[in-house]
Structure 1
């Protein structure tokens, strides 16, 4: 059972860890905590038959009202204050087969039974879970040892230590502290010059000056952005077999780096990612930030297309709820959440916020937009686009004039069949069965090809029935005016001209009842699109016509005459007619003019106005489809309609969404959700974020399960501190006083860095300026015997072996990125260049051979680019850089709350034998020879100074010299090769890889 030391006395947790007897448990006065001690028993042992999905015998144990009600037998499972009268206790205590519960598996343990009895006797209190309670403004507690307090964080930590008879570990030495805070804030080792400067600075503000410098460094954003990228499952590719690229995903990564460096308020950071496109005046960041939605895995050829749509939405819900709220809302996709108070309706109410998102594509205008640095750049682009379009229209108008002239003169000589009014015509072909028009953009086509003749033509279909087409192209409009479009089809069809719906003729029906629609058009080239599907039976036909100024009811399709499908193959080719008869009918000069204009139009159409593009979210429009609750999560079994609403256990309520304006391209739903999550009143948002910051500064969070603050997540070890920090983040808090005896450790004026709401840098500074952060990782208490006979316990390694009370700082291994970046930093090759597309370090052919197409999608960057920080390395889901993968790089398939820290043979093999480490060791040796010449002792001293971040002891220098000498004398290495091997050894030292 997860019994954690908590509260003022922690009687129950302490005695259980010491070996609690049933008698002692029965006599213990500590209140039983439902969420921590009872709910997990119900969830793991009872819910299979008596939970949200099942109520055998009429008993449900997921709600107090149903758990205390009479069941089918007429008995009461739980009688508050009367465990002896409770049928639940009778059944779990029974030794009779067929009566004992649970019927399968091992019976409940005596401790579990006694816990349930005691809980019932205490009134069967079903307290709300701590995470669903509003934030409480706790005053820092009073402590005995006030001299240890540098800021209120220390009061919360020391208070619990003193209550448990513990003292904090000794403070860390200056060199080790500088190394710790430098890595924790910027992910790089301190330089030798920085170490020397800090050691030489004896002023009270020496450490604070270092903290301010690090928080102001651009490396801060590079380091802390990587922590956030883990949470949002960042990768540059889609996964699955092809693992194709996500175009311009790197702009999102750069956005996160900039946001941390600028100390963008966290509430704004949330709003931009969830609804940046719906915010006013966010500039390009508002578009780039919504790349958040596109970062997950995407299967471009799913077996079940409809299910794949809801899988993508589920990924968004999972990442949003876990990343921002620390809740596993995704567990309610198929049924009510089995543990947390999240009904299935809450899941689909949350899904409704995202229902209008356009499907992924690669590449696709749904997922990419042009971005601009400022309004002037946007205006320049818009002007260039308009100028380009005007040029196309002018050319088309001139060409149309000559073509009409040619037609008129040709009609005088012969009857000319319908000539194509369409240009640049392409089709996408689909094989499937539909009863109504689907969203073809969310489906992968079987074939994409051009239609050379300039007519809508369904004869390229490769099957007789059950297929679909999407035609796209350009309609050549001869002059301004209102045009009438006629659409007849067997079966469903939809015609869109210049972005306007002209005619829709949906469903399964036959030919013979055309529908018409009118649209006003400007002279020139306008986009046209036609969607069509053919049902599983019947004929197949498509007839599209138009008429208007300069157009006398001409066909746009291959057509169907008398119910029989015809092809354009035997129709006159206008281009061939013009080439053959143009010079004669128009005259040589006029024909040459036509040829010149046609050539210019072709060249102009191939030209695109240049712009930077970003991966982003778009919506189908201001009116998204309705959302239905899916029974058992099955898209084929829709249930009742749901509307956008907030999570019930966090206050709930239907979202109030303003009516979209006439020019709106989205529904505004995502902004409503973003505002709710980013509100200072939200009970989880600030708690989750300050816990993440604490996690990366202390090695684990105040809540050890950063993505799960629910009932099966870990409870906070210091709930009052968590709430205090959360309020400091969301409101800016109050000025944080510094003890007069602390020497002004936070600021010389005894105040914090400012009362700035949602400032993440402020929370970083508060934490690293505390004495709790500056403790050593070593136990300083003497070992004493552990006893239950009342003897004082003084050894924290016995009282709190997991360091739940933070009596010391946990040692940690550097992350994968920190290891690689540190190697590049100490050998002098680290390239400080920021931002831009991902880089591709060299990967061996043996590693690439594991791909379905070895080497596909992995280039090799220049040596200078390869030496950039690891955050800029391309994250290809199917091919991770080996040194990053070996040292537990984040799982990119889903939100990564905390990385594993493993010890495995591939780490040592790669660090000793890998090409990268041996190359960098040689670079390190080259640096040492440059800085120390041929003085081997100086070379060794500089090497240790750079790798260990401290002045080396004479003994370790002596060991290094002996190693070099041994490599030369015993292994016949040259002085150069011996130094290379010595450098390889220093890069493999535990002290280089681990952080005190």
Structure 2
């Protein structure tokens, strides 16, 4: 028995050693080690994966009293190994950390085999060795250091570059042994920029104009034309609605109506008039506190009032008032600064240098608002929570003309409002509203940038100034990254809501910094930034993917091909409404209630209030853009939810991407899609043209390119098959044509209309239709 036990131990040890040896044999090419090894970009990611479990910021799990995330601890004498140091600058052979990661002794090696973290690869070991030889220099977190605009990198193919962005992208591609795709054809390029700038497909007239424009600046002129259209503001507003958690109800059990839509009209207006981003933020943070603040600036502060509110009897007002402050703090941290500050609500942040005191000092900026934790029910005539901004019809005519409403009465919007006397703020023990601890004063996050009280006042005005100060390392970086994500589907920092130490490193850090500084240097000009990205050769590439590209870079991190992204839920709706001619392009105004399955609202809430029953709209209101679809927090619009729209119950900077059968079922069966197919079919039937020409026109309107002969042949064959079924009474055209409320045309043959409707619905169901390629 004894011999058997010894033999088992020896066998296990041998397997462990063999596994470690095999693991370390991977990636052992020393030539791939960078000239200068960076703590932030090379060493810390390995420490985070392999070492921080036992030697990181979590004091409860720390082993041997050793922290490897801070230099003071890493260079201090080891407590359990006399005379030894984890790190000795310039001397890896005497650094205990290095000796242990190269060891194969199960009793000595790190990470320990029982940790199941896996041994370091030869490449990782070589990184550590060179880093220590170079002095084992720790660096402050990259995102908390001010961005720098370095000179453009040298590249071999200068003729390929269209602007500065391309130098950074091409430099990385050359390192990876990849090359960019050729430029996309004009039809696909136009669809891409039209959807990215306006959220709408281009018209046939626009397609013909662009394809036939052979001048050098045709592409740039088209971008300028699209940027000047009022639909640009609507497209940009969709993302900001997610950040601001905009909805048309208050949430919680009763989930009654609210009237924040005038703030949404302001956001559209701000993007269309190209309000500089620093002002865009300043007005939303502290517009009510600006000197001689006007009603537009006050309206902008509705940004912070979009969170959920309770109307349930029996609640504790202070508990919910604190909940609202927590929501404001999280939204500001995630949406504007790109940090997970909310993790410090109950205790010091485990990974980022944010203490609980920092958190409540930050929360204190919002603690002086006049809003209450509980006000009771709202009514349909005045659906806003105090403090409110009242807007008269005269003010809408003369000052706030961008607000779109037919009503002649006053509008009310929930906005920010500051108390006359300062409310004290305390650190809350474990984040509990009724357990105050140490008193704190308003101050921004010191790890991000010092809140200098000689420059900034301890109120929201000071917070706004700190936020848009050009020395703030996060604000411009985060916004530039979000814009990049809008166009490429992935930010230069993939974790766009987390620029902290557990977030992903930027794929192109120098480009991110260059764009951030350039953005600030050019007056925080959003339209200029959009045009800058869209005119790059990187953006203009074909989206075709080769096997080599897919193997080397499946996520397109290095951008050797153009973006291929499914449209957001709102823009899928916009596409089928626009291409069918149904879209009502009215800008702004109250939200609308299009078709929806019966019984959803009624089954989800208490059954009280204005929104207890879903009352569908009719007429033009059925054909408004997805941006204006009414969002009830407890029951978001089901069709858009299936396409991963935000449910708006909290700040969201990046939507999930799913692919489910329900999405296909919606495109095949949603009354709105079927109605769009019917209406377009009946319009085309009025044309004096052949079936193939009608199909070609529909294809161009929907897919935004000319179909191939084979595609036309397939669709025409399907049309003929369906026509035969209708003519033989095997299918009932009358029933098919009942889709939607838009009036039917009596001037066309029903059977032919129904057959063409089926063919058009097939085009709507093509993957390419709802994909930006």
Fold match (TM-score > 0.5): yes
Q: How many residues align?
A: 702
Residue number in structure 2 paired with 1:368: 388
Q: 2:566 aligns with which of 805, 809, 813?
A: 813
Q: 3-state DSSP class of the match of 2:697?
A: helix
Contact 1:705-1:897 within 8 A present in 2 as well: no
Give the 5 Å matches for 1:35-46. 35-40=40-45, 42-43=47-48, 46=52
Q: CA deviation at 1:21?
A: 2.3
Give the 5 Å matches for 1:216-365. 216-245=228-257, 247-301=258-312, 306-357=318-369, 358-360=371-373, 361=375, 363=378
Residue number in structure 1 paired with 2:528: 762
Q: CA deviation at 1:809?
A: 0.8
Q: 3-state DSSP class of the match of 1:652?
A: coil
User: Structure 1 CA distance, aligned partners of 2:331 and 2:552?
Assistant: 37
User: Structure 1 CA distance, aligned partners of 2:289 and 2:696?
Assistant: 57
* Higher percent of residues as helix: 2
Distance change >3 Å, CA 84–CA 646, structure 1 → 2 = same
User: Structure 2 CA distance, aligned partners of 1:116 and 1:857?
Assistant: 63
1:683-712 CA-partner distances (Å, limit 9, x unpaired) = 111111111111111221111121111122
1:709-744 CA-partner distances (Å, limit 9, x unpaired) = 112212222222212211221111xxxxxxxxxxxx
Residue number in structure 2 paired with 1:694: 484
Q: 1:648 aligns with which of 436, 446, 454?
A: 446
Distance change >3 Å, CA 239–CA 949, structure 1 → 2 = same
Q: CA deviation at 1:154?
A: 1.8
Contact 2:541-2:562 within 8 A present in 1 as well: yes
Give the 5 Å matches for 1:498-577. none
1:554-596 CA-partner distances (Å, limit 9, x unpaired) = xxxxxxxxxxxxxxxxxxxxxxxxxxxxxxxxxxxxxxxxxxx
User: Structure 1 CA distance, aligned partners of 2:721 and 2:495?
Assistant: 49
User: Structure 2 CA distance, aligned partners of 1:730 and 1:185?
Assistant: 21
Distance change >3 Å, CA 56–CA 264, structure 1 → 2 = same
Contact 1:177-1:774 within 8 A present in 2 as well: yes
Contact 1:89-1:116 within 8 A present in 2 as well: no
Q: 3-state DSSP class of the match of 2:390?
A: strand
Distance change >3 Å, CA 697–CA 811, structure 1 → 2 = same
Residue number in structure 1 paired with 2:744: none
Contact 2:87-2:97 within 8 A present in 1 as well: no
Give the 5 Å matches for 1:703-852. 703-732=493-522, 757-779=523-545, 795-848=548-601, 850-852=603-605
Distance change >3 Å, CA 79–CA 200, structure 1 → 2 = closer
Give the 5 Å matches for 1:10-25. 21=25, 24=28
Q: 2:415 aligns with which of 616, 639, 649?
A: 616
Contact 2:641-2:647 within 8 A present in 1 as well: no
Q: CA deviation at 1:673?
A: 0.2
Distance change >3 Å, CA 97–CA 155, structure 1 → 2 = closer
Contact 1:351-1:644 within 8 A present in 2 as well: yes
Q: CA deviation at 1:72?
A: 4.6
Q: 1:627 aligns with which of 417, 425, 447?
A: 425
TM-score, length basis structure 2: 0.84
Residue number in structure 2 paired with 1:678: 468
Q: CA deviation at 1:61?
A: 3.9
User: Structure 1 CA distance, aligned partners of 2:363 and 2:753?
Assistant: 63
Q: CA deviation at 1:20?
A: 7.0
Q: CA deviation at 1:22?
A: 6.1
Q: CA deviation at 1:239?
A: 2.1
Contact 2:482-2:491 within 8 A present in 1 as well: yes
Distance change >3 Å, CA 38–CA 150, structure 1 → 2 = closer
Distance change >3 Å, CA 27–CA 819, structure 1 → 2 = closer
User: Structure 1 CA distance, aligned partners of 2:396 and 2:261?
Assistant: 24
Distance change >3 Å, CA 164–CA 233, structure 1 → 2 = same
Q: 3-state DSSP class of the match of 1:992?
A: coil
1:868-923 CA-partner distances (Å, limit 9, x unpaired) = 11111111112222221111102422221211221101111121123222222212
Residue number in structure 1 paired with 2:87: 79
Distance change >3 Å, CA 718–CA 36, structure 1 → 2 = closer
Q: 3-state DSSP class of the match of 1:648?
A: coil
Q: 3-state DSSP class of the match of 1:640?
A: strand
Q: 1:178 aligns with which of 190, 211, 216?
A: 190
Distance change >3 Å, CA 65–CA 41, structure 1 → 2 = same
1:150-174 CA-partner distances (Å, limit 9, x unpaired) = 2212222222223333321001111
Q: 1:133 aligns with which of 117, 140, 145?
A: 145
Q: CA deviation at 1:131?
A: 1.1
User: Structure 1 CA distance, aligned partners of 2:504 and 2:77?
Assistant: 33
User: Structure 2 CA distance, aligned partners of 1:100 and 1:162?
Assistant: 35
Contact 1:334-1:633 within 8 A present in 2 as well: yes
Q: CA deviation at 1:286?
A: 1.4
Q: CA deviation at 1:140?
A: 2.1
Compare CA radii of gyration and give the structure with the larger one: 1
User: Structure 2 CA distance, aligned partners of 1:191 and 1:268?
Assistant: 34
Give the 5 Å matches for 1:658-673. 669-673=459-463
Distance change >3 Å, CA 216–CA 977, structure 1 → 2 = same
Residue ranges of structure 1 left out of the alignment (5+ in a row): 1-17, 380-608, 660-667, 733-756, 784-794
Q: 2:634 aligns with which of 855, 867, 878?
A: 878
Contact 2:183-2:540 within 8 A present in 1 as well: yes
Does 2:681 align with 1:925?
yes
Residue ranges of structure 2 left out of the alignment (5+ in a row): 1-21, 379-383, 400-407, 732-750
TM-score, length basis structure 1: 0.66
User: Structure 1 CA distance, aligned partners of 2:109 and 2:210?
Assistant: 71
Does 2:765 align with 1:975?
no
User: Structure 2 CA distance, aligned partners of 1:274 and 1:368?
Assistant: 16
Contact 2:111-2:119 within 8 A present in 1 as well: no
Residue number in structure 1 paired with 2:405: none
Distance change >3 Å, CA 952–CA 847, structure 1 → 2 = same
Give the 5 Å matches for 1:151-166. 151-166=163-178
Residue number in structure 2 paired with 1:457: none
Q: CA deviation at 1:48?
A: 6.5
Distance change >3 Å, CA 71–CA 135, structure 1 → 2 = same
Q: CA deviation at 1:264?
A: 0.4
User: Structure 2 CA distance, aligned partners of 1:140 and 1:656?
Assistant: 37
Q: 3-state DSSP class of the match of 1:730?
A: helix
Q: 3-state DSSP class of the match of 1:629?
A: strand
Residue number in structure 1 paired with 2:706: 951
User: Structure 1 CA distance, aligned partners of 2:319 and 2:757?
Assistant: 56
1:288-318 CA-partner distances (Å, limit 9, x unpaired) = 1111111122334486654433332221111
Q: 3-state DSSP class of the match of 1:650?
A: coil
Contact 1:52-1:336 within 8 A present in 2 as well: no
Contact 2:336-2:479 within 8 A present in 1 as well: yes
Q: CA deviation at 1:37?
A: 4.6
